[in-house]
Amino acid sequence: MSRFSKFTILAAVAIVLSCSCGSPSEPYVMSQEAQDAFVGYGFVRCFWFLWNQNIAGTPSGARDMTVPGPLGGTVHIYGTTGVSGDINTCDLTFDMTDCRSSNVNYDLTFTGSISCVGSFSPDYTSMGHNSDMLSYSGTVDCDDSNTAVEDIGPIAIAETQTGLSGTICGRSFAYSY
């Protein structure tokens, strides 16, 4: 047997052994807290998309409008907004019907009413997003886990410049930017 043939056989055996030896790694299973953190993040990103598309750059005051969701559904936005220097204030309610929003970490649809109250500037954010009953469904993704999520219940999200914390359906979560 030639030297080349021996090397080829040894290389083939090494490849087979490397593929078949050892146990396969366990798939990543996203914790409930992580799922809730991505749902909270997904809602807040949806809020900011709706704000930027429909409210930012317009005169402050009373609001009452129905707009399309980022990727479908509708949102009735009503309440008041204000601006003083660099500080924006918000006291709005978002009545969402099949409002879909998505990015690399989530693809979620929201239905229900949620209040968004607080203030923000280029240097800080202090917003509260609260609902007595909001439903959501879709997927959240971290490390290619693509986990299906669905629930309905109360939601309380505190948003600051550095992240989110709160409860979703009675479960606590935190998300840092």
More confident residue, 53 or 3: 53
> In which band, very low, low, confident or very high, does the pLDDT at 177 lie, cut at 50, 70 and 90?
confident
Distance of CA 64 to the CA centre of its chain: 25
Is 163 buried (19+), middle (13-18) or exposed (0-12) by CB count in 10 A? middle
**Is the pLDDT at 18 greater than 50, yes or no?**
no
pLDDT one-digit tens code per residue, 84-97: 999 999 999 999 99
Please report the pLDDT score of residue 29 as a whole number. 84
Span 26-32, mean pLDDT? 81
| Residue 73 CB contacts under 8 Å (≥ 6 apart), including other chains | 96, 97, 98, 99, 100, 109, 110, 111
pLDDT one-digit tens code per residue, 151-167: 999 999 999 999 999 99
Please report the pLDDT score of residue 7 as a whole number. 35
Please report the pLDDT score of residue 19 as a whole number. 35
> In which band, very low, low, confident or very high, does the pLDDT at 79 lie, cut at 50, 70 and 90?
very high
pLDDT one-digit tens code per residue, 100-145: 999 999 999 999 999 999 999 999 999 999 999 999 999 999 877 8
Query: How much is the CA Rg of the chain, to the nearest whole Å?
Result: 23
**Is the pLDDT at 22 greater than 70, yes or no?**
no
Please report the pLDDT score of residue 25 as a whole number. 62
Q: Spell out the domain ranges in the chain.
A: 32-176
pLDDT one-digit tens code per residue, 32-78: 999 999 999 999 999 999 999 999 999 999 999 999 999 999 999 99
Please report the pLDDT score of residue 26 as a whole number. 67
| Residue 134 dihedral angles phi and psi, to the nearest 5° | -125, 135
Q: Enter the pTM of the model.
A: 0.83
